[in-house]
Amino acid sequence: MKNKVLKYLFITFGISWISWFIVILFIQFGLSKYPDALSCTLGIIGTLGPTIASIMLLEEKKNFKNIAKFIFNKKKKTYLYLIVLSIILILSFSFLCNYNNENPFYFIVPLFIYAITFGGGFEELGWRGTLQPNLEKKHSFIISAIITGIIWGLWHIPLQIIQGYAFFDSNFVSFMFGIIMFSIVLAYIYKKTNSIFYCAFLHGLYNTLTTIFIVNNIEVLMIEFVLAIISIFLYCKEKYVNKI
């Protein structure tokens, strides 16, 4: 377990941080300005760090069939978890936040497709598909989800330095708290469904909603905290209470 986790982290942070710090250096020396073609390309390469690391560490033969199976595998009759949580997310943002009228409706579909792939969704091959399960070999589910959330949050640090990027100059403490809470939610979904695609879908949906709605830290943290508490409650109920 330890060896695989360290390999995953080395590859992930190596690809991501090198790409992002090159962007930072280019911007610093006036060779690039986000979001131009160069900085966006390097930015996307950086976001693929967890994806590339997870595929490199696949125990099965690395071909299209096995990679597709890794992503789209799921437990039977678990789609309701995806539907229910998606509805909860959409309703939460709809009631607590105002829609940003600067974003036309036709903008939502391509934004969502981008969000569940290069805009965050592909990360789930790494965080929930690789790191979380390997941590659970030594730690409890909740502790593993928290550790995954902390690492996931720290991974974003260079993005807070790139001016113009979504995370630029954001409050680091509230950001870390929120991402740990959402890590618990996604970890629970993966635990129940064994589906990386479901996690990518929800990750992308969340990123889309935070883009098309006008949000502040309190509203987002409230949504993440409530969902995390519900996830912990359901996990503990299923694991302990139902066995009594």
- Report domain extents, the chain: 74-243
213 phi and psi angles, rounded to 5 deg: -110, 150
Query: What count of other Cβ atoms lies within 10 Å of the Cβ of residue 174?
Result: 14
- Cβ-based burial of 137 (10 A; exposed 0-12, middle 13-18, buried ≥19): exposed
- Beta strand extents in 97-239 (DSSP E only): 98-99, 213-214
Whole-number CA gyration radius for the chain? 18
Structure tokens at 225: 């905290």
Average pLDDT, the chain: 91
Structure tokens at 62: 């690395």
Instruction: Please identify which residue in the block is written with the tokens 């807070």.
Output: 160
Q: How far apart are CA 241 and CA 147, in angstroms?
A: 25
Q: What number is the average pLDDT over the span 225-234?
A: 93
pLDDT at 26 over 60: yes
Distance of CA 19 to the CA centre of its chain: 19
pTM: 0.93
pLDDT at 167 over 70: no
Q: How far apart are CA 198 and CA 126, in angstroms?
A: 14
Nearest to 89 by CA among 203, 190, 169: 203
